[in-house]
Amino acid sequence: MIRSTLFFAIFFVGVFVVDQMIKNIFLEGFRWGSDYFSLILTYNKGVAFSMFSFLDGYLKYLQMALIFGIIVYLLLYKDIFKEYCIPAGIILGAACSNIYDRFIHEGVVDYFYWHYGFEFAIFNFADVMIDLGVVVVLWISFRKKRATLSQ
């Protein structure tokens, strides 16, 4: 359990710190653009694609409650925590970084804007890490399922 907690903490802190460092570059005024994508500071008051932005300041508390629920679940089911400690650290580190933005900047700091061929949502490193964490969860689950089926 100590090893799992250590891995969780390393990934949680690592993702949180890297995300905040990148966001700080944009908060200090960095901008860049090309024909394909732009790196430009925006504040997202909602979640993906600005959904739930009507919740305004309440959204951060709802997200905190969800994270608290996930943490309680992982504490109650230590076997699941042990197996998924790395993706849990990645996802929760990224989620907490975005929630931190909501408290400090009143919106999530986003900066990567894809606009070649179609306009895509503006996102940040934490968003990518949440997606990566979900992919790792799925990979572990499928690998586990395949091992069970082959027995």
**Residues taking part in catalysis:** 110, 127
CA atoms within 13 A on the CB side of 60: 17
Residue 48 main-chain phi, psi, to 5 deg: -45, 130
Beta strand 32-33 with 37-44 is antiparallel
Neighbouring-strand partners of residue 55: none
Q: Are 52 and 46 in contact (CB under 8 A)?
A: yes
